[in-house]
Amino acid sequence: MASLPLSSLSSLTGKRLLLGVSAGIAAYKSALLVRLFKQAGCEVRVVMTEGAQAFITPLTLQALSGEPVRTSLLDPEAEAGMGHIELARWADAVVIAPATADLIARLVHGMADDLLTTLCLASEAPKLIAPAMNQAMWRHPATQRNVAQLASDSWQLIGPAAGDQACGDVGPGRMSEPEEIFNALAQHFSPPVKASGEISSRAPHIVITAGPTREALDPVRYLSNHSSGKMGYALAAEAAAQGARVTLISGPVNLPTPQGVARIDVETALQMHQEALRLAPQAALFIGCAAVADYRAESAAVHKIKKTDDNDTLTLTLIKNPDIIAEVAALPNSQRPFVVGFAAETQDVPRYANDKLQRKGLDMIVANDVSQQGLGFGSDDNAALLLWRATSGTEQLAAPPQTKKALATLIIRQALTLLPPQPSGALS
């Protein structure tokens, strides 16, 4: 099991957590989560839905939490101990992991038909939720509507991750790893840390996009690109190390979440667009490092596209995806973060980068020449030209080839230096 960051230990010590467990195969990971919370010095009380008990026994979670596990609203014996309203008031935070599609739907409708939903309705504590379900269920418009509603009801969504699923499918819907859920909660309670130097006395919230997007053509094929996520993850790690509160919106990549970073997994440009536009208005700094697909299939085929003997060519109709970073940059001033874009170019880097800086309305751009061997996509190293707006016009700084980690330090420092003074409330 991963060792705990010291900052998490202090931010969670003594916190009273209500952990809700619903009926998903990922329920076995809830046991690891209880251990992480206990190691960090939290008091943990677990509430299980009826279905969850088919996946993991209350006894396991009782042994790990050191407290009786509650499973029923109508249990007079348990209610005689700590009644459900008392339990709802007791919690400093409610964390649900895993959350099934059914539980999410019930929460959206404010149902109180079992102990867990009743507690969620009765508790005024911050609430975090880690969905877990089959990829088709996750993608279903009803689930997407429901999670959007939960987010606007102030629930903090953690994940889900994409990958192999217990049912044999591949795609988004896997519960985030316990360490990621733990990090998200630790970050929630972290006091703002002073950013480096004289830059800020309160820690800025930084939202970063990373990795590629995937645009489905049919159930087995997609359009994508070679982004590995390394540059964006290095930026997130560096920003967190400098004391910022970091949210990483990540396309499908094969990288661990940097310590202290809250990660939201997405697959398509539209999903990244939705998360970016939801989070950017609360951020002081937005960095678009993701290689977003400019186009998606007009309509993904429901069944696998078949090769036929009489068709030597195949025509796909693609439609434009929204320009995420341009929309963030066009937010009204009261909601607009400082916006840093990336430009992946193969020729005439300064000209094209400057053009993107102006056209997309950005404050700063990091241009990399992705035609250079060993730099850019997929590699551990990168080189870049940083361009930003200044009263005297555009200023620039050329960063020679170096590790993505070192380049990330330079980019974060430069962006924080340019960040305008934040009105109180804009930093959190």
Residue ranges binding ligand PMT (CB under 6 A): 209, 211, 227-232, 269, 288-292, 294, 321, 323-325, 341-344, 356, 368, 370, 376-378
Q: Return d(Cα 293, Cα 270) in angstroms, integer.
A: 10
Task: Tell me how crowded residue 313 is: count the other CB atoms within 10 A of its CB.
Answer: 4
CB closer to ligand PMT out of 26 and 344: 344
The Cα 340–Cα 415 span in angstroms is 8
Q: In whole angstroms, what is the distance from residue 361 CA to residue 389 CA? A: 10
CB of 220 to ligand PMT, least distance (A): 24
Give the separation between CA 20 and CA 323, rounded to whole angstroms.
Answer: 38
> How many angstroms separate the CA atoms of 394 and 367, rounded?
14
Q: Which helix (H) or strand (E) covers residue 303, if one does?
A: none
Please say whether the beta carbons of 151 and 278 come within 8 A.
yes
- How long, in residues, is the chain? 428
Q: Kindly state the smallest distance separating residue 244's Cβ from ligand PMT, in Å.
A: 19
Cβ nearer to ligand PMT, comparing 247 with 321: 321
Residue 238 CB, shortest distance to ligand PMT, in Å, is: 14
Cβ-based nearer residue to ligand PMT, 88 or 234:
234
The C-alpha atoms of residue 397 and residue 364 are separated, in whole angstroms, by: 11
Residue 287 Cβ vs ligand PMT, minimum distance, rounded to whole Å: 8
- Considering the complex, what minimum distance in angstroms separates the CB of residue 178 from ligand PMT? 26
| Nearest approach, Cβ of residue 367 and ligand PMT (Å) | 8
Largest CA distance in the chain: 75
Task: Pick left, alpha or beta for residue 348 (phi over 0 → left; psi -120 to 50 → alpha; otherwise beta).
Answer: left
Q: Give alpha helix (H) positions in 175-332.
A: 178-189, 230-241, 269-279, 324-329
Instruction: Return the number of the residue (244 or 292) whose C-beta is nearest ligand PMT.
Output: 292
C-beta closer to ligand PMT: residue 123 or 227: 227
Q: 């001033």: which residue's tokens? A: 333
Side chain identity, residue 352:
Y
| CB nearer to ligand PMT: pick between 90 and 377 | 377
Amino acid code (one letter) for 174: R
Task: Give CA–CA dist 64/80, Å, rounded.
Answer: 23
42 is catalytic: no
> Which listed residue (42, 120, 167, 289) is catalytic?
167
The owner of tokens 């190293």 is 381
Q: Kindly tell me which of 205 and 273 has the beta carbon lying closer to ligand PMT.
A: 273
- Closest approach, Cβ 380 to ligand PMT, in A, equals 9
Using DSSP's 3-state secondary structure scheme, residue 228 falls into coil
**What's the CA gap between 311 and 371, in Å, rounded?**
34
Using an 8 Å Cβ cutoff, are 236 and 222 in contact?
A: no
Q: What residues act catalytically? A: 167
